[in-house]
Structure 1
Amino acid sequence: MKIVKAECLHADGGLRVCSYLKVSTDEGLVGWSEYYDSFSPARLDPVIQDLARTAIGMDPRQVGRISETLLATTRLASGGLAQQAVAAIENACLDIAGKAAGLPVHVLLGGPLRDRVPVYWTHCGSYRVARESFFTGQLGLPPIRSMDDLVGVAREAVAQGYRAVKTNPVFFENGKPHFFNGGFRVAPGFLDRSMTDRQLGQLHEQMSAYREAVGPDVGLMLDLSFSQRTEGALRIARRLEPLQLAWLEFDTPDAQALAHIRQNARVPIASLESLHGIHEYRPFLAAQTVDTCIIDPMWNGVWQSARIAAFADAFETTMAPHNPVGDLGSLMSVHLCAAAGNLRMMELRVDEAPWIRSFLTHPPQVVGGEMLVPQTPGWGTGIDEDALRAHPVKPA
């Protein structure tokens, strides 16, 4: 069996562009993967196509060989978009390998340790603030105008059976909510990477309201992204200690800084979602920087992510996938989670455009706050190309 073609397909996802890679073989089998082509200002499509020229002619069932070969060709410009392009090809090949063997991908990773994976509602309430024009203007959801409106989304999550929620800082000024910039999007103040004392007080008020809304037995997480330097992250961690967070999520490229935060905060720390490859994870895991190691299977590839998860397990560290978008991405993540011995829980963005579920022939199923692990070959789904064409990408 040989790879003969790699195609990038896109569709309007409301909040974003949904991007898929279709890899075709000379025996008629097709593999799919989802990737982020709109997460960075630079386009990923051209990099995928450039790397796919090396993969064409190779056997897609030899997933590790393809992944390592493509990564070797990027050594002078490793990580970032190069790694993400390799991951898209790797993940599509995993789908083919599973279909060729008649097995789910999680069996190729060693077999499932669980048939359900606990998921948490990510960006709970906060994204309805950040994308009000979509949620209120297009979907007709009630606007967020008060703290009670904001935490009402958390109550909704608990009512639907979710046992954990994660949110982002939201500040109210003159009756209007403001989503605090994560430090990686151009916006006023995004270079400051700091929080005023007044904002810290508002954040404590927000997270206290969330804790009251979800109760003491539901996991509560806060995602700061890259918005803080070391001192700011520590100030926030210490202020929120009484709320018994499941974790405080914080990103930094500095392993020593993250280790310092973890050693001096009595709040569990989750991080590392922006890293690429096991070699980037090594200094962070060796320095005991996190309680939960976050791994992005769309950026690293599911096969490579399974290696990173096992490496984290050697340091007595739990893992959780970074999975902020996409139904196919969720299925890719759930296969990884099913086979990971050190799983903490899985991220799931519940607030998505309702029509994107039509893009998959078999979308993921969530029951009682847990995603069911597919038992059919490959990822357990296909892509409906007619549904993609029915939702063309809108002009920027």
Structure 2
Amino acid sequence: MKIKSHEIFQCDAGWRSFSFLKLVTDDGTVGWSEYNESFGSPGLSAVIEVLMPNVVGMDPMELELINAALATKSTQSRGGVVRQAIAAIENALLDIKGKALGVPVYQLFGGKLRDRIPVYWSHCGSYRMRNAELVGTSPVRTYDDMTKVGQEVKARGFPALKTNIAIEIDGQITAYRPGFVVGRGFPERNWDAFIARSAAKTVEAFRKGCGPDVGIMLDLNFHFRTEGFRRIAEAVGPTGLTWLELDAHDPKSIALIRRDAPCPIASGETLLERRDFRPYFEAYAFDTAIVDVIWNGFYESLKIAAMAEVYEVNVAPHNFYGHLASAISAHFCAAVPNFRIMEIDIDSVTWRDDFVKNPPTIEKGDYILPTGPGWGVEVDETGLRKHPVKQRG
């Protein structure tokens, strides 16, 4: 069996795009992966196109050999979109291998430790604040609206939620995102008393709705520098966070924040490969290591999780994509012993289900692990072609 051809699909997902890679073998076996070009990875599809001639003609069963061959093509540019391109290829190859052997991907790596994956509702209230029309829900305009969403999370049985800072201006809340958006707080990313109070009010609004037993995470992304992260941690400390999530590309800075923070610290979603993660583990920077299985590739992610276990750290996948990506992340969660909880977007564009023939099942806050061969998710090409990428303001 040899890789014969490939095809890339770019699909409209509202305020972003979902991307899919299809690999076909000479015996007709098809493997799929999902990747994301619109989350800080411009040109990713072009890199996949450049790398694929090195894969065509190779045996998809020889994953280590293919990874080694691709590594030789990117030695001087390790990481970044190159790593993400290799990850997209690797994940599609694993789908082929699982299908060829008639087993789920997790079975290729020691089998599953669990078949129900606890998930937390990510971007809770945040998407409804920014894109309610595309999500198909009532908009979130006030902290009271966030409280109502918290009530929904509890009523639907989710064990936890994750949200982002909302600030109130002229009686209406808006997202505070200076690490991603040109506007208030950009480019200095300073903190002030108003922003710190807003962070606390955001968490308190959800806590009022979901009660004391539902976990709450607050994601600060790249929106502050070290001083700001520390001050926000102090402000939200009394709210009893499950974790405060943040991104900084300096392990000692995160370790400093973790040392003094009144809540657990999670980070790592933008790190690539074991070499990037190693200095963070050595600095004891994480309570929970966030691993993006779509960016790193399933096989490399397992190796990162194994490294984390040496430092007594549990892992949680960074997963805010489509249904195929959620399945890939769920296989990762099923296969590693040091698993914490899985991220998932419950709110998304109303047509997200069109991209697959078997959307996921979530019962009482648990993602039910697919059991079919490969990733266990059948991509719907008709649905992919139905939703080409659109340009939006």
Secondary structure, in 3 states, of the residue corresponding to 1:303? helix
Q: Deviations over 1:16-73 (max 9, x none)?
A: 2221000111111010000002112622111001011111111111222222321332
Q: Is 1:226 equivalent to 2:222 in the alignment?
A: yes
Aligned residue type for 1:201: R
Aligned residue type for 2:100: A
Structure 2 partner of 1:258: 254
**Contact 1:122-1:348 within 8 A present in 2 as well:** yes
Q: Is 1:37 equivalent to 2:43 in the alignment?
A: no
**Contact 2:128-2:138 within 8 A present in 1 as well:** no
Q: Deviations over 1:248-281 (max 9, x none)?
A: 0010000110111111112100001100111110
Aligned residue type for 2:387: H
**Contact 1:64-1:303 within 8 A present in 2 as well:** no
Q: Deviations over 1:280-303 (max 9, x none)?
A: 101101111000000001100011
Q: Is 1:245 equivalent to 2:241 in the alignment?
A: yes
Aligned residue type for 1:241: G
For 1:43 and 1:380, how far apart are their aligned partners in 2?
A: 29
- More moved, 334-343 vs 146-155: 146-155
How far off is 1:155 after superposition?
A: 1.5
For 2:372 and 2:338, how far apart are their aligned partners in 1?
A: 24
**Contact 2:3-2:24 within 8 A present in 1 as well:** yes
Relative to structure 1, is the Cα distance of residues 144 and 395 closer, same or farther in structure 2, using a 3 angstrom cutoff? closer
- More moved, 240-249 vs 185-194: 185-194
Structure 2 partner of 1:50: 50
Q: Is 1:142 equivalent to 2:138 in the alignment?
A: yes
**Which aligned pairs between 1:1-396 and structure 2 lie closer than 5 A?**
1-40=1-40, 42-135=42-135, 139=136, 141-181=137-177, 183-396=179-392
**Contact 1:67-1:87 within 8 A present in 2 as well:** no
For 1:299 and 1:391, how far apart are their aligned partners in 2?
A: 23
Aligned residue type for 2:311: F
How many residue pairs were aligned? 392
- More moved, 144-153 vs 291-300: 144-153
**Contact 2:147-2:208 within 8 A present in 1 as well:** no
For 1:175 and 1:393, how far apart are their aligned partners in 2?
A: 35
How far off is 1:159 after superposition?
A: 1.0
How far off is 1:234 after superposition?
A: 0.8
How far off is 1:121 after superposition?
A: 0.2
How far off is 1:109 after superposition?
A: 1.9
How far off is 1:393 after superposition?
A: 2.1
Aligned residue type for 2:53: R
Compute the TM-score of the two structures, normalised by the length of structure 1: 0.96
Gaps of at least 5 residues in structure 2 are none
For 2:131 and 2:169, how far apart are their aligned partners in 1?
A: 17
**Contact 1:125-1:151 within 8 A present in 2 as well:** no
**Contact 2:356-2:380 within 8 A present in 1 as well:** yes
How far off is 1:212 after superposition?
A: 1.9
Gaps of at least 5 residues in structure 1 are none
How far off is 1:354 after superposition?
A: 2.5
**Contact 2:178-2:187 within 8 A present in 1 as well:** no
Relative to structure 1, is the Cα distance of residues 277 and 345 closer, same or farther in structure 2, using a 3 angstrom cutoff? same
Aligned residue type for 2:128: R
How far off is 1:133 after superposition?
A: 4.9
Aligned residue type for 1:127: Y
How far off is 1:391 after superposition?
A: 1.9
Relative to structure 1, is the Cα distance of residues 70 and 113 closer, same or farther in structure 2, using a 3 angstrom cutoff? same
How far off is 1:188 after superposition?
A: 4.2
For 1:16 and 1:395, how far apart are their aligned partners in 2?
A: 9
Secondary structure, in 3 states, of the residue corresponding to 2:351? helix
Compute the TM-score of the two structures, normalised by the length of structure 2: 0.97
For 1:266 and 1:72, how far apart are their aligned partners in 2?
A: 45
- More moved, 33-42 vs 181-190: 181-190
Q: Deviations over 1:298-345 (max 9, x none)?
A: 100011101101110110001000001111000000000001100000
